[in-house]
Amino acid sequence: MSAEGVFITFEGGDGAGKSTQIQRVRDWFIERGRTVKVTREPGGTELGVQIRQMVQNGPEDIDPQTEALLYAADRAYHVATLIRPALAAGEVVLADRYIDSSLAYQGAARSLGVDEIRSLSMWATQSLDPTLTFLLDLPPEVGARRRTDAPDRMERESTDFHERVRHEYLRLADAEPERIIVIDGVGTPDEVFSEIRGVLEERFGSGVVQHVDDETAVDQPSRPVDKSAEPLTTDNAKVASHSAPKAKTKSGAQSSKSSKKKSMLGILAGQVPLWPSAEEDKA
């Protein structure tokens, strides 16, 4: 019996480390015998690459409505040509940004209306929701310090803009605690992935293995983060299933339960001590 498709999205402000954690989650699923596709919005398709260039590096006078419609157009094509076919084939799809990004950036920070942007996005995707969303949360000033190259049009927005983005992300997490799991993005990559791995083991630890006949199947090497004009998609070969752990971990249960009990908006009221991360991400 073939496995069902799994759709996991990664959200958070600039510099949250999404790209690093996506590659680690990709490896986690591959070790358990799954075929994984890594993608992003915008930029997961050839059309998306062009839209990404227009939105992030286009003219400064792009108005909020145009920006929102460009993202919606990319998302409609992305879902129809890449995400839905992969899920129908039983693959795991890991996406760097999805509808929640539009709700936070265009709906809230651009003041276009969260409900309006949600309706547009659901129409564009024919109501395709993720199985699970990891929200990597950190203060905007921390993300800005992690930047290593010139900021794009979105990153040049004010601190107040990025604070509104963060506030909306946390509000969404409060509203959907079963789907959106908030992860403290301030720590080191290992610390962040430890939290993510606990959730993965709790949610998927006993049900993700696909048995393969060829025990010599070899996985493709991990693809580095690419910010050039190429679609960020990765198809990975299946590997033998004997390495998959079956039991839930104590840390996994605690991570999920604490995410449900804790008010996400409360994070804004009392920030934990900050320290720089060794790995950066501006996606």
Summarize pLDDT for 142-192 with one digit per residue, the tens.
877 887 777 777 888 888 999 999 999 999 999 999 999 999 999 999 999
Residue 246: inside a domain: no
Find out whether 48 is annotated in a ligand binding site.
no
Q: What is the pLDDT of residue 248?
A: 38
Residue 11: inside a domain: yes
pLDDT over 60 (residue 255):
no
Identify the band that residue 242 occupies on the pLDDT scale cut at 50, 70 and 90. very low
Domain count, the chain: 1
Residue 48: inside a domain: yes
- Going by the DSSP 8-state scheme, the letter that residue 271 receives in this structure is P
Q: What is the pLDDT of residue 194?
A: 97
Q: What is the pLDDT of residue 259?
A: 43
Q: What is the pLDDT of residue 274?
A: 37
C-alpha of 144 from chain center: 19
Residue 274: inside a domain: no
Identify the band that residue 79 occupies on the pLDDT scale cut at 50, 70 and 90. very high
pTM: 0.74
Residue 240: inside a domain: no
**What is the spatial distance between Cα 227 and Cα 241, in angstroms, rounded to a whole number?**
33
Q: What is the pLDDT of residue 9?
A: 98
What average pLDDT does this structure show over 45-69? 91
Percent of the chain having pLDDT more than 70? 72
Residue 131: inside a domain: yes
pLDDT over 90 (residue 205):
no
Which residue carries 């999404």 as its tokens?
18
Q: What is the pLDDT of residue 212?
A: 33
Contact of 76 with 99, CB cutoff 8 Å = no
Residue 225: inside a domain: no
Q: What are phi and psi of 9, to 5 degrees?
A: -115, 155
DSSP reduced 3-state for 182: strand
Find out whether 173 is annotated in a ligand binding site.
no
Identify the band that residue 232 occupies on the pLDDT scale cut at 50, 70 and 90. low
Find out whether 262 is annotated in a ligand binding site.
no
More confident residue, 224 or 34: 34
Find out whether 19 is annotated in a ligand binding site.
yes
Question: Exposed/middle/buried for 161, CB within 10 Å: 0-12, 13-18, 19+?
Answer: middle
Q: What is the pLDDT of residue 202?
A: 96
pLDDT over 80 (residue 196):
yes
Find out whether 18 is annotated in a ligand binding site.
yes
pLDDT over 50 (residue 258):
no
pLDDT over 90 (residue 64):
yes
Range of the structural domain that residue 47 is part of: 6-205
pLDDT over 60 (residue 8):
yes
**What is the spatial distance between Cα 74 and Cα 76, in angstroms, rounded to a whole number?**
6
Q: What is the pLDDT of residue 30?
A: 97
CATH number at residue 142: 3.40.50.300
Find out whether 187 is annotated in a ligand binding site.
no
Span of 11-25, 110-124, 195-209, 246-260 with lowest mean pLDDT: 246-260
Q: Mean of the per-residue pLDDT values for the chain?
A: 80
**What is the spatial distance between Cα 44 and Cα 178, in angstroms, rounded to a whole number?**
26
Residue 269: inside a domain: no
Find out whether 13 is annotated in a ligand binding site.
yes
